[in-house]
Amino acid sequence: MRLASLLVKEFIQFFRDRVILLLILWLYTVEVIICTYALGLDLRHLPLAVLDQDNTPVSRRLVSALTSGESFELVGHPADMPAAERWLQAGRARLVLVIPEHFGLKLLRQESPQLQILLDGADGNTAATARNYVLLALQSLQTEAMPGSGPPVRAEIRIWYNPDLTYTSFMVLSMIALAALMVGVIHPAATIVREKEVGTIEQLRVTPIRTGELFLAKTIPTLFMGTLSVFPSLLIVWWFGVPLHGSLVLFLLLTVLFLLSAIAIGVLIAAVCKTLQQALLLSFFGLFPIMFLSGTLAPVASMPDFLQWLSLASPLRYYMDVILGVFLKGVGIAELWPQAMALLVIGSALYAAAALVFRRNSA
Which is the CATH superfamily of the domain at 46-145? Answer: abc type-2 transporter like domain (3.40.1710.10)
- Please report the pLDDT score of residue 260 as a whole number: 93
Each of the 363 residues of the chain gets a pLDDT tens digit; together they read 666 666 676 667 667 767 667 767 766 676 666 666 656 556 778 899 999 888 888 888 888 888 887 788 889 899 888 898 889 888 888 899 998 988 888 877 877 788 888 998 888 778 888 888 888 877 776 676 555 555 677 888 888 888 877 788 888 998 899 989 998 998 888 888 888 887 777 776 667 777 777 788 888 888 898 898 888 888 989 998 888 999 999 999 999 999 999 999 998 998 888 888 888 888 887 788 888 888 777 777 777 778 888 888 899 999 999 999 999 988 889 889 999 999 999 999 998 988 888 877 765
Asked if 181 and 230 touch (Cβ cutoff 8 Å), the reply is no
* Pairing between β-strand 154-160 and β-strand 46-52 as defined by DSSP bridges: unpaired
Report the alpha-carbon distance of residue 49 to residue 203 in Å, rounded.
60
pLDDT for the residue 341: 96
pLDDT of residue 144: 67
Please give the DSSP secondary-structure letter assigned to residue 152: P
Beta bridge partners of 12: none
DSSP 206: T
CB 211 within 8 A of CB 359: yes
CA gap 154, 325 in Å, rounded: 30
pLDDT, position 349: 93
Q: Please tell me the predicted confidence (pLDDT) of residue 326.
A: 93
Residues in the chain: 363
> 326-358 burial string, b = 16+ CB within 10 Å, else e?
bbbbebeeebbeebbebbeebbeebbebbbebb
